[in-house]
Amino acid sequence: MGTIVEQESPAGDGVASPPRPNRTRRAIRERRMRRRSLAIAAFSTAAVAAALVLLVPMAPGWDKVRTVFFNWEVMAKTFPKLLSAFTVDIMIFAWSAPIIAVWGLVIALFRDARSPALFPLRLFAIAYNDIFRGVPVILVIYLIGFGVPGLGLPRPWNSPYLWGTVALVLSYSAYVAEVYRTGIDSIHESQRSAAKSLGLTQADIMRYVILPQAIRRVIPANMNNFISLQKDVALLSFIGPIEVLRQAGVQKSLLANFTPYLGAAIIFLAVTIPATRLADHLIARQNRARS
């Protein structure tokens, strides 16, 4: 019987690598398993879709549900108005997101403050995160959106757009700050020590060593927060702004039909699904770079 000769790895470290025929067989086997998994997934998905298409119309109330929720004449009539109202959501998101990114970073820096003299800032950041992560976003919107204008402030200081934005910023900054803090804590302590040995101050260490790495690491996670923010802008409809959700409600009342809500859902999905896939891609690329 012939003997299998061990081959050294290309790196020349003396570790024997699997013989080439074994590697080829393993690659072929992995491809077959991948094709088999894809075939099973496609079959199961098609089976579920077929079951829904065949069984749902057999329900006793399907005709009524189709008329009330899937009326394409109502969809065609109301969809342009929904798209126009969605520009309000985009505008609120556009000016809220940068403020949240900056204020969240400030809160994270307060939370990471190590000097005894800065302990009040650290305590403020802890209390801030505990409060605004513990209170539902819709409740913060109600309290600020109705409470502050109730003080009798003149225009524009009683605008629901202004105080709705403040409510979103306060709530989401707490979540973004915790993500930033996770990125800061992920930087090994040895990098701080090395930078300190080179004579850098604590401020310079944070600015030039810690933050550039931490921000890069948390971009995918923060993208998920901003995707959630895009959806939660619709909550401002409860305090007055006529954005897509409020417009869908208006059209529902005028036409006695719930199809406008389906149109609003389609608009949100058209924005959030590509953004979610981008976030997943960035997370997967980051994981591959670490492995």
Question: How crowded is residue 161: how many other Cβ atoms within 10 Å of its Cβ?
Answer: 18
Kindly report, residue by residue over 49-101, the tens digit of the pLDDT: 888 778 778 888 888 888 888 899 999 999 999 999 999 999 999 999 999 99
Kindly report, residue by residue over 168-224, the tens digit of the pLDDT: 999 999 999 999 999 998 888 888 888 888 888 888 888 888 888 888 888 888 888
> Higher confidence at residue 164 or residue 9?
164
Residues in the chain: 291
b/e sequence 74-96, b meaning 16+ C-beta within 10 Å: bbebbbebbeebbebbeebbeeb
Burial class, 164, CB count within 10 angstroms (exposed 0-12 / middle 13-18 / buried 19+): buried
pTM higher than 0.85: no
Q: What is the DSSP letter of 19?
A: P
